[in-house]
Structure 1
C-alpha cells in the first residue's frame, strides 16, 4: 500500500479518523453508543478478518522473533504485523512466533489485505 505524503499528514489531524491509514481498523465503521446519562462513546464496530487476497510466502519462525519484527521485515513497518496475523489461523498474534521452526504465511506485496 503506497501512502502519499499528504495522506499520512491527514492521519495527524484530530478527528479525521480515530485510526491511522495503516491500521487494521482504519476501514472499520465507527459507531456511537449513548449511555443513560447522555454521554456518547465512540467505538469501532466488529472487524471480520478478510480472506487473504493474492499470494503468500512461507516464513520459518526463528527463536526470538516477534510479530512486530516480521511486520518490519516484510512491510517496513512493525505495526503491520496484523497483516501476517490475518493470513494465519491464530487467535493471539503471539502464537505466530512462539514456536521456533513453525512455518507461517506472509502476504506478498504491500497491498492492503
Structure 2
C-alpha cells in the first residue's frame, strides 16, 4: 500500500525532499524501499556524525558555557545562523544538544567545515 504523500511524490505533484543550506541533511538524499507486500517507503539516507576534531572541520573559537546559555544563540553569535547549532553538536560529540549547555564552565569548540568561516564575534 502506498501512502498518499508518497503517491504525490512519485507523480511529481510534490517535490522530492530538499533541505536548506544550513541543514545537517543538506547533502543527503532520499531512498525508497519496497516491502514484500508492495508498500513503497521513502526514507532519508543515514547521516554519520563525524568524530569531534575531525580533520574536515576548522575550529574558529571556543565558548565557555554560562548559566542560561542556549545552543541556538551560541550558534547565531559565532556562526551567524541559529539553525547551525548542529555544527556545535558535531564538534563536541553531543547526541543530545542541550547536554552542551547543561554545565556552566564547560568549554565548547566552535567549528565550521574547513573553508567556511564563522563570524568570529567574540567569546
Q: TM-score, normalised by structure 1?
A: 0.72
Deviation at residue 36 of structure 1 after TM alignment? 4.4
- Which residue of structure 1 aligns with residue 95 of structure 2? 91
Structure 1 residue runs of 4 or more that deviate by more than 6 Å after TM superposition: none
State the number of aligned residues: 99
Deviation at residue 103 of structure 1 after TM alignment? 0.6
Q: TM-score, normalised by structure 2?
A: 0.67
1:17 and 1:24 map into 2 onto residues whose CA distance is 13
- RMSD between superposed Cα atoms in Å: 2.4
Q: 1:17·1:26 contact (CA, 8 Å) conserved in 2?
A: no
Provide, for residues 46-105 of structure 1, a one-character-per-residue CA deviation record: whole Å limited to 9, x for no partner.
111232522342110111112111121112221110011110022211111011111110
- Which segments of 5 or more consecutive residues in structure 1 lack a partner in the other structure? 1-13
- Which residue of structure 1 aligns with residue 32 of structure 2? 32
Range with greater deviation from structure 2 (92-101 or 49-58): 49-58
- Which residue of structure 2 aligns with residue 68 of structure 1? 72
Between structure 1 and structure 2, the one with the greater Rg is: 2
2:15 and 2:29 map into 1 onto residues whose CA distance is 14
Q: 1:62·1:101 contact (CA, 8 Å) conserved in 2?
A: yes
2:40 and 2:19 map into 1 onto residues whose CA distance is 18
